[in-house]
Amino acid sequence: MNEQTTIDRTQREYSAAAKKALGRSPQLYINGEWVDSSGGETIDVEDPSSGKVVSKIVEASDKDVDRAVAAARTAFDDGRWRNMPPVARQKIMNRLADLIEEHADELAELEAIDVGKPKGMAGAIDVPGAAAHIRFCAGWAGKINGETISPYTMPGDMMFAYTLKEPVGVCAQIVPWNFPLLMACLKIAPALAAGCTTILKPAEQTSLTALRLADLIAEAGIPAGVVNIITGYGHTAGDRMVKHPDVDKVAFTGSTEIGKLINRNVTDTLKHITLELGGKSPVVVMPDVNVAETAPGVSQAIFFNSGQVCVAGSRLYAHKSVFDEVVEGMANTADFWAPRASLDPDAHMGPLVSKEQHERVMGYIDAGKRDGASVLMGGDGPGGDGYYVNPTILTDVNPQMSVVREEIFGPVVVAQRFEDLDEVVKDANDTQYGLAAGVWTKDASAAHRIASKLQAGTVWVNCHAMIDTAIPFGGYKESGVGREQGREGIEAYLETKSVIMKL
Ligand code: NAI
Ligand code: MG
């Protein structure tokens, strides 16, 4: 019997620590204090595993945003953070990473309750990843330097020139709901290392861990006003942050649609901007693979985090000689990925984040069916409460279908056959997106050849979604602007000043 039919999806009891976090009164973290909103509006917090409302957060007003920006502006301008010796900033940042690790279990549980991701996944990936971003960037705090430069057209004995690397200023950082704590830390860490101050807005669906992070930011000793955390909607609070004249840089992760809107909205004030946007990442499986290893790997590439991953391997291209075996191997993972409540210790995949996302993903699956795609696996939800969708494989698709062209952001992969390399590279690149891609092969030279031809910011070989804070990450084409992580991620928070002196 299929195991899926016997799963009890009732959400488990929350821990005392989680109940306490859910029970706090809705407030904002501005200028080092917990403050009430000027408006009094709130947003419901839902547990997508049950569909129940479990808490409330502030819906920040324009006044709240202005107050947070003013706090960040003052904290930047008076130099309380950027002029602190790097050794002290590094120490405080490492203390924050320590505190995240000390509260790992609670943070993983809150993430599971808020996003619907399995607590085990949040504990293995999101929380340690968040701490790692902070530690890596803490190390940079003391390694940001300009250089002395010998002029080319001016006499060297008369002129002395050097560059200074300075923090870009006040940052507005807006993150989505798929990896809330991880993305929050990915955003604040390089800003802090560079000496910037920031206003961070988590997604309205998933603000719980960002609010707990604010407690830890205070406890770590980050001075008041350096990091401000406000909750609220994108089109109101987010929009005000983006357009605010006292903000110097916008860093956004989210949909391509909103990324384009934000890019237009920063134009009037010509802010610095980095955008990490959507994807429709191809995964190419060559004829020489060991299917027993590859099938679970390419399944994880799409089903991890219920497919709500910007780099999800959502377009599979398997060589015709292995196609049937690969998709059969993927279908054999159905029980492993069967969605369960996020606090079920056996869960590998949870529900989708929200009713809206559930409707969106089911809408795509239905459109795929109407367009003539065959459902090899899933294609439905288990029913009952919560926003569950079964892991889904669609075959018999063509490049015109919306399921092949658009980012679904759910556990849905479209599987296609290919015959020769040039053809598959062309198909893989036939997309507005260019965030990531995967290649599975034992042939090292084929791997390098394909990697060089794929239009993507990251190419994985024999793995997927391996993201490391030291390695630059970002998109080609409509998947983004700029890079985060690694040295380039720090550079994105710096201005270069050239000083030229006549001797
Ligand atoms: P979204 O892009 O609207 O939201 C992401 C963040 O941007 C949230 O914090 C939101 O409050 C904020 N935001 C929204 N409108 C804004 C505005 N006008 N100005 C400033 N900030 C704004 O994404 P949404 O609506 O939650 O999801 C829709 C689709 O976007 C998903 O189905 C998925 O396809 C895609 N998406 C992609 C992500 C990625 O990492 N590539 C992450 C989240 C969503
Ligand atoms: Mg939206």
Reported as a single tens digit per residue, the pLDDT across 370-381 is: 999 999 999 999
409 Cα nearest atom in ligand 1: 34
- Closest-lying ligand 1 atom to the alpha carbon of residue 253: 40
Handedness of CA 367, 369, 370, 371 (dihedral sign): positive
Instruction: Give the number of the ligand closest to the Cα of residue 354.
Output: 1
Chain-centre distance for alpha carbon 282: 18
Could you report the per-residue pLDDT of 173-228, keeping only the tens digit for each? Answer: 999 999 999 999 999 999 999 999 999 999 999 999 999 999 999 999 999 999 99
Residue nearest to atom 19 of ligand 1 (CA): 239
Distant-in-sequence contacts of 12-16, Cβ < 8 A, 24+ apart:
12/341, 12/343, 12/344, 13/343, 14/54, 14/109, 14/113, 14/343, 15/105, 15/106, 15/109
Ligand 1 midpoint to CA 258 (Å)? 6
Beta strands in 156-264 (DSSP E): 159-167, 170-174, 197-201, 227-229, 249-253
The residue nearest atom 11 of ligand 1, judged by CA position, is 234
72: nearest Cα among 213, 236, 234, 244: 244
Ligand number nearest to the C-alpha of 241: 1
Q: Compute the distance from residue 348 Cα to the ligand 1 centre, in Å.
A: 24
User: Rounded to an integer, what distance in angstroms lies between the CA atom of residue 133 and that of residue 319?
Assistant: 37
- Smallest-distance ligand from the CA of 243: 1
Residues in contact with 230: Cβ distance below 8 Å, sequence separation at least 6, in sequence order: 28, 29, 30, 58, 60, 64, 65, 68, 199, 200, 201, 237
Nearest CA to ligand 1 atom 34: 409
Q: For residues 114 and 127, give the distance between their C-alpha atoms in angstroms, rounded to a whole number.
A: 14
Q: Do residues 358 and 381 touch, judged by C-beta distance below 8 A? A: yes
Average pLDDT of the chain is: 97
Q: Which tens digit of pLDDT belongs to each residue from 471-496?
A: 999 999 999 999 999 999 999 999 99
Nearest CA to ligand 1 atom 16: 234
The closest alpha carbon to 410, from 348, 358, 478, 337, belongs to: 358
Return the exposure string of 446-477: e unless at least 16 CB atoms fall within 10 Å of the residue's CB, then b. Answer: bbeebbebbbbbbbbbbebbebebeebbbbbb
Atom from ligand 1 closest to the CA of residue 360: 32
- C-alpha to C-alpha distance for 120 and 305, rounded to whole angstroms: 11
pLDDT digits (tens, 9 = 90+) for 397-449: 999 999 999 999 999 999 999 999 999 999 999 999 999 999 999 999 999 99
CA distance 6 to 340: 11
CA separation for the pair 274, 283 (Å, rounded)? 26
Q: Which atom of ligand 1 is nearest to the CA of 259?
A: 2
β-partners of residue 45 are 55
What pLDDT digit, counting tens, does each position of 58-115 carry?
A: 999 999 999 999 999 999 999 999 999 999 999 999 999 999 999 999 999 999 999 9
Residue 3 in this model has a pLDDT that exceeds 60: no
Confidence check: pLDDT of 4 > 90: no
Name the residue with the closest Cα to ligand 1, atom 42. 254
Which residue puts its alpha carbon closest to atom 27 of ligand 1?
255
Q: Distance of CA 446 to CAs 46, 47, 440, 441, 456, Å?
A: 47, 45, 10, 8, 17
Residue-wise pLDDT tens digits, 114-160 = 999 999 999 999 999 999 999 999 999 999 999 999 999 999 899 99
Ligand (nearest to CA of 204): 1
Q: Looking at the annotation, which residues are catalytic? A: 276, 310
Angular region, 384: left φ>0, alpha ψ -120 to 50, beta rest: left
Q: Which atom of ligand 1 is found nearest the CA of 262?
A: 19
- For 59-183, list the strands marked E by DSSP: 148-149, 159-167, 170-174
Ligand 1 centre and the CA of 277: distance in Å? 9
For residue 2, pLDDT beyond 70: no
CA 261 to ligand 1: nearest atom: 18
Beta bridge partners of 29: 34, 229
Query: Does residue 188 sit in helix, strand or coil?
Result: helix
pLDDT digits (tens, 9 = 90+) for 354-372: 999 999 999 999 999 999 9
What secondary structure does DSSP assign to 383-431, as a single string?
A: -SSS-----EEEES--TTSHHHHS---SSEEEEEEE-SHHHHHHHHT-S
Ligand 1 interacting residues, C-beta cut-off 6 A: 174-178, 201, 203-204, 233-235, 238-239, 242, 253-255, 258, 261-262, 277-278, 310, 357, 360, 407, 409
The 10 Å Cβ neighbour count of residue 263 is: 16
Residue 6 pLDDT = 85
Q: What value does the mean pLDDT take over residues 23-33?
A: 98
So what's the pLDDT on residue 1?
Answer: 37
The pLDDT of 329-341, averaged and rounded, is 98
- 255 alpha carbon to ligand 1 midpoint, in Å? 5
Query: Cα of 84 to ligand 1 centre, how many Å?
Result: 35
Q: How far apart are CA 323 and CA 316, in angstroms?
A: 10
Residue 234 alpha carbon to ligand 2 centre in Å: 7
Q: How far is the CA of 258 from the centre of ligand 2 (A)?
A: 7
Pocket test for ligand 1, best of 183, 258, 263, 361 (most atoms within 8 A of CB): 258
Residue whose CA is at the smallest distance from ligand 1 atom 36: 255
Measure the CA–CA gap between 81 and 77, rounded to whole angstroms: 9
Query: Which ligand has the minimum distance to the alpha carbon of residue 262?
Result: 1
Ligand 1 nearest-atom number relative to CA 239: 19
How far apart are the CA of 334 and the centre of ligand 2, in A?
Answer: 30
- Find where tokens 């499986």 sit: 285
**pLDDT by residue (tens digit) across 220-252?**
999 999 999 999 999 999 999 999 999 999 999
Helix, strand, or coil (residue 208): helix
Pairing of strands 52-58, 315-319: unpaired
Residue nearest to atom 30 of ligand 1 (CA): 255
- Residue 487: how many CA atoms within 13 Å on its side-chain side? 3
Helix, strand or coil, per DSSP, at residue 322: coil
| Residue 5, pLDDT score | 61
